[in-house]
Structure 1
Amino acid sequence: MTNFIPIFPLGIVAYPGEQLNLHVFEPKYKQMVAECVAEGKPFGIPAVVDKKVMEYGTLVKVEKVEKLYDNGEMDIVTRGEKVFRVLELVQQIPDKLYAGAIVSYPENDMSVSERLREEVLHGVRELHAILQVHKTFSKPDPQLMSYDVAHHAGLSLSEEYNMLHLFYEVQRLEFLKQHLHKVIPMMAEMERLKERVKLNGHFRNLSAGDI
């Protein structure tokens, strides 16, 4: 299926199911969001990476206008719905300030590998422990998907985008697993280095052992 959607390019990656809070202040996006709210229509957030609007993004629906300012600016709560692929950018729309795109919606296989999910969740929690970050998820473990944990795994923007256009849940989990296997030893070594630096210059009780 293909259709036309208004777009709001942003330097982030939004995922299906994700709640995204936005402050809308530019005139073109104030117009776009006001129309989407009035007509109950979704809009697209294509990722912008290295100042380039990318091929893939996520369709989002406005769930709530949290605050409407006197100048038309808005604080809105949105929810990601599904991933789209941009087939054609439409820069000029009659009587509109904003741009749009003709998009398609790739099939997305959400079949889960329980073993992979458990490995990824274990890795994410291990990373958080190393970094002394305390995070809780809004769902119980058996309901968590790759999209729910991707932003918590220490991915770069480019890596988050690379995961966005993987269309099998098993692929996405494997992607996160490989990333965590790479980054956890690096973070652990950095923490050990920090501890060594902290000890430098302090009196320590040292022993050469039983020589």
Structure 2
Amino acid sequence: MSSTRVTDLPLFPLQTVLFPGGLLSLKVFEARYLDLVSTCLRERRPFGVVALHKGNEVRRGEESIVFEDIGVTAELLEVDSAQPGILHLRCRGTQRFRIGATRQQPDGLWIASVQMLPDDTTAAPGEALHETVRGLANAIASLKGKGVEPFEQPYQFDSAGWVSNRWCEILPISLAAKQKLMELPDPRVRLELVDEFLRGQGVVK
């Protein structure tokens, strides 16, 4: 999707950064989000995930929250309702968006008028970044050896955007740093910054 259309989108502010192509597991129990999931399932529509800059994920009275201006739409892959009043969700990040006007419903759910941003351009990692690509393949193999499947297949090692996004998801960097990397419109620049960090940490030689 590369449209820049403007649309209304329900928001789920979280203390995490979702990347396009990334997986996200959520435990939902607040009424506003249970209703949101029901609506998204019924209408087959996504919701928006935005990183919290101030405040908490769980509503606490009239506590104010501040979230980032750019987020990522999430589509529902699995919904498990094994426990009454609690839903376990598995979602996939799809497309970035920029928030315009926002309003809060009486139940506390945020609705935003958003502009959908273009997908990453198709770009292969340059030769200088091949070690970083191999490093991700090794990281995936190591995680699989521990019984962890962090990313959705098929893997796209020939995509600078995919490789940089997957690295960003597992790197021990701050929420603010992940947000800035997610926002970058050029996937090659994003991967170059990841490569620079990895070399600085001695992960890639």
Q: Into which bin does the TM-score normalised by the smaller protein fall?
A: 0.7 to 0.9
**Which runs of 5 or more residues in structure 1 are unaligned?**
186-211
1:142 to 142, 158, 165: 158
Q: Note the alpha carbon deviations across 1:176-202, whole angstroms, 9 max, x for none.
A: 1122122338xxxxxxxxxxxxxxxxx
Alignment match, 2:186? 168
SS in 2 for 1:101: strand
Which residue type is aligned with residue 90 of structure 2? V
Match for residue 73 of structure 2 among 39, 59, 66: 59
Q: CA deviation at 1:110?
A: 2.6
Instruction: Letter of the 1:159 partner, please give it.
Output: A
Matched to 1:5, the amino acid is L
Alpha-carbon distance, 1:153 to partner: 2.7
Whole-Å separation in 1 of the counterparts to 2:95 and 2:200? 29
Letter in 2 for 1:174: E
| 1:89 and 2:89 are equivalent in the alignment | no
After TM superposition, where is structure 1 displaced by more than 6 Å over at least 4 residues in a row?
A: none
Moved more, 42-51 or 160-169: 42-51
* Paired residue type of 1:134: S
Q: What is the DSSP-based 3-state SS (H/G/I as helix, E as strand, rest coil) of the residue aligned with 1:74?
A: strand
1:178 matched to 2:191: no
Residue 88 of structure 2 corresponds to 75
Instruction: Report the CA distance between 1:54 and its aligned residue.
Output: 0.6
Aligned partners of 2:78 and 2:91 also within 8 Å: yes
Count residues with an aligned counterpart.
Answer: 179
**1:105 alignment partner AA:** M
Tell me which residue corresponds to 2:121. Answer: 110
Q: Are 1:47 and 2:42 matched, yes or no?
A: no
Q: Percent identity?
A: 24
Cα offset, 1:162, TM superposition = 0.7
Secondary structure of the structure 1 residue equivalent to 2:177:
helix
Q: Give CA-to-partner distance per residue, 1:130-177, whole Å, 9 cap, x none.
A: xxx922564263355322222123222111111111011111111211
Could you say which structure has the larger radius of gyration? 1
Q: Structure 1's 119 and 50: CA in aligned 2 closer, same or farther, altered over 3 A?
A: farther
1:75/1:145 CA distance change after superposition, 3 Å = same
Structure-1-length-normalised TM-score = 0.74
Over the aligned positions, Cα root-mean-square deviation in angstroms equals: 2.7
In structure 2, do the counterparts of structure 1 residues 121 and 154 end up closer, same or farther at CA, with 3 Å as the change threshold?
A: farther
Is contact 1:124-1:180 (8 Å) kept? no
Partner residue of 2:59? none
Structure 2 spans left out of the alignment, 5+ residues: 56-65, 145-150
Alignment TM-score, normalising by the size of structure 2: 0.76
Q: Which has the higher helix share?
A: 1
Structure 2 distance, partners of 1:107, 1:141, is 21
Q: CA deviation at 1:77?
A: 1.3
How many Å apart are 1:125 and its aligned residue?
6.9
More strand by share: 2
**Amino acid paired to 1:53:** F
**C-alpha deviation, 1:120, in angstroms:** 2.2
Quote the residue 1:120 is aligned against: 132
